[in-house]
Amino acid sequence: MNITVNYETTPWLLLVFTLPSSKASERVGVWRKLQKFGSIPFRNAGYVLPNEAISQERFEWLAASVRSSEGEASILQVQSIDDTPIRVLQEQFRQARAVDYEALIEDAGKLKSSAKGKSVPVVRLRRRYEEIAAIDFFESPLRRQADEALKRLEQPDQPAKQQKTKRANKAAYKKRVWITRPRPGIDRASSAWLIERFIDPKARFIFGTDPVAHPKAVPFDMFQGVGFGHEGEQCTFETLCIAFELSDPKVRLIAQAIHDADIEDDKYGRSEGHTMNQILKGWAKQNIPDKDLLRRGIDLIAGLYEAIQ
């Protein structure tokens, strides 16, 4: 998560609140959210976050929650702290995240040593990493180490069958017409996004059931087994990733979500693809034309890609 802190004005937000002694459970609830948001305590004065729109929104909701529980809350925009330079606070944030990363690295090591590096436990660790990285505002030095530890666990998750996918020359697939089946679902929509975003920015998409009728078009996700499609246990999106050697880590996470939604084996334990697939099915029931349905699906995946931390 890249955050641009406005150092020239007020770089910090400080949440100050009090709750009645009888509201112990509410206090615990607020504390848990403060931990989840990545805030750090500032002495006994309150909790600090970098001054960003998302931080302001989170503190506003917390303040409203405190007030609804008969407490008092204020959000202060802090320009400077006379005895605590910016770099000191930054380091406190890094140290807080270092504790999280160290615990993650330790758990990754236990999973590897126990020889139980199955997909779902690894995905849970990856999600945990993503949650930590999202609040790692000043990039702890341990972030890369944690990422590499997870990559070592994830590598065996690639089925041997995937390695048989033939590599494709990206230069041969520029400004092409790509053909797929009508009423695109999650695999075809996400594959179209992948093609347009990483392979053929000038791609044009058409629909049909017989690729022979369009000999110059590149087929993808066709039942005839031509072009790019399902291979072994992998969906079309995964086949394209391997064929064109796409290594973007966010694309890898999307591939897991598309696999789970399209193959329906819950191999990776990711729910995002299922949700988007249901949205596409809902749009299809509204008789939206194929071209518009595909474009909406492309926009859905583009939004997911940008949202991944």
| Share above pLDDT 70 across residues of the chain, in percent, rounded to a whole number | 92
Residue 164 has a pLDDT of 72
Residue 156 has a pLDDT of 55
Structure tokens at 208: 């049909």
Pick the CATH number of 12-78 from 1.10.150, 3.30.70, 3.20.20, 2.40.30: 3.30.70
Residue 152 has a pLDDT of 85
In the predicted model, what is the mean pLDDT of residues 30-56? 93
Three-class SS of residue 99? Answer: helix
With contact defined as beta carbons under 8 Å apart, do 41 and 51 qualify? no
Domain ranges (residues) in the chain: 12-78, 86-157, 164-307
CB contact set of 149 (below 8 Å; sequence gap of 6+):
104, 105, 108, 109
Structure tokens at 203: 């791609």
Residue 139 has a pLDDT of 92
pLDDT of residue 99 exceeding 80, the answer is yes
Say which amino acid occupies 71: G
Rounded-to-integer distance, Cα 302 and Cα 250, Å: 11
What is the chain's mean pLDDT, rounded? 89
pLDDT of residue 9 exceeding 80, the answer is no
Rounded-to-integer distance, Cα 162 and Cα 155, Å: 12
Cα torsion through 289, 292, 293, 295, rounded to 10: 160
